[in-house]
Amino acid sequence: MSKLLRKPNRVETSPGVNLVHEVTSENSPLEYVALKVVDLAPGASYRENLGKAECCIVALTGKINVTDNVETFENIGTRESVFEKKPTDSVYVSNDRTFAVEAVTAARVILCYSPSEKQLPTRLIKAEDNSIEQRGKYNNKRLVHNILADSNPSANSLLVVEVFTESGNWSSYPPHKHDQDNLPHESFLEETYYHEMNPKQGFVFQRVYTDDRSLDETMAVENGDVVLVPAGYHPVAVPDGYESYYLNIMAGPTRIWKFHNEPAHEWILER
């Protein structure tokens, strides 16, 4: 199995708190992006003290209360399934702060981390503040919810976006990359994909590859899997009959999303 593909590994870390994924610089090739996917039973709480990292707490499903012991946001979250395709609520917590997430209902959250030195205010990122895009045409149409885009100054290095791709379509396509710290032409952003499928037994194909093919991994990605993108192009293909969801976390030395399309496939955009 590719080293870039992470299967869910559910571990109960405290009563009602199950850690499903944990990606860190210690267990991955990533230095900027880290994540946790956590399932919370009603009434269960997850607490964390942040060092020099910022965190975007995304209420993937269910309702949660979030506090940093100064601000408290109650009953956040908008959906029971990501495939309701409506934006959800998130909370941004900056470096050197403590936060707690308490489940009001059964909930799944993704904790998105990246480096942060300059402490910023804790913020609720309301569902209605997500900017929504219908991106692509022909068979590369997808729906994009920008949760924490580079145009939102709330964070120091973190970018968070979720993408819905219908049956028979491609996304992150034509293939693009952002693995060179070469602005204004391209930014260097590591990336992770947290995937869900509808129906759940589905899979997508995702390829992660570099121009010189020193990295070239093609994976069958299933419901709940995480894919790491340390570098390279990273297109996703969705089989007929299934819907794909993924949430992307990106971070690097500069908080700008400036990608570079693979020249061989850029003609796709000219149709």
**Window 212-251: residues binding ligand LJL3ZJ5K (CB under 6 A):** 234, 248
Instruction: Lay out the sheet containing 190-198: strands in order across.
Output: 5-6, 226-229, 190-198, 243-251, 159-165, 142-148, 131-135
Closest CB to ligand LJL3ZJ5K among residues 63, 234: 234
Q: Does residue 205 bind ligand LJL3ZJ5K (CB under 6 A)?
A: no
d(CA 225, CA 205): 12
Which range of residues in 49-57, 75-83, 170-178, 196-204 is near ligand LJL3ZJ5K by CB under 6 A? 170-178
Cβ atoms of residues 23 and 29 within 8 Å: no
Residue window 109-148: x/- pattern of binding to ligand LJL3ZJ5K, with contact defined by CB under 6 A? --------------------------x------x------
Q: Nearer Cβ to ligand LJL3ZJ5K, position 99 or 170? A: 170
Q: Which of 153, 177, 234, 190 is nearest to 32 (CA)?
A: 190
* Minimum distance of ligand LJL3ZJ5K from residue 18's CB (angstroms): 27
Q: Which of residues 44-63 bind ligand LJL3ZJ5K (CB under 6 A)?
A: none
Q: Examine residue 171 and tell whether it contacts ligand LJL3ZJ5K (CB under 6 A).
A: yes
**Rounded distance, CA 187 to CA 256, Å?**
6
Alpha-carbon distance of 85 to 88, in angstroms, equals 9
- Least distance in angstroms from the C-beta of 171 to ligand LJL3ZJ5K: 3
Q: Where do we find the tokens 């000219």?
A: 270
Tell me the CA distances in angstroms from 231 to 123, 210, 251, one per residue in order.
30, 7, 12
User: Which among 40, 12, 14, 11 is positioned nearest to 101, based on CA atoms?
Assistant: 40
* Closer residue to ligand LJL3ZJ5K in complex, CB, 32/73: 32
* Contact set with ligand LJL3ZJ5K (CB under 6 A): 135, 142, 161, 163, 171-172, 178, 191, 234, 248, 259
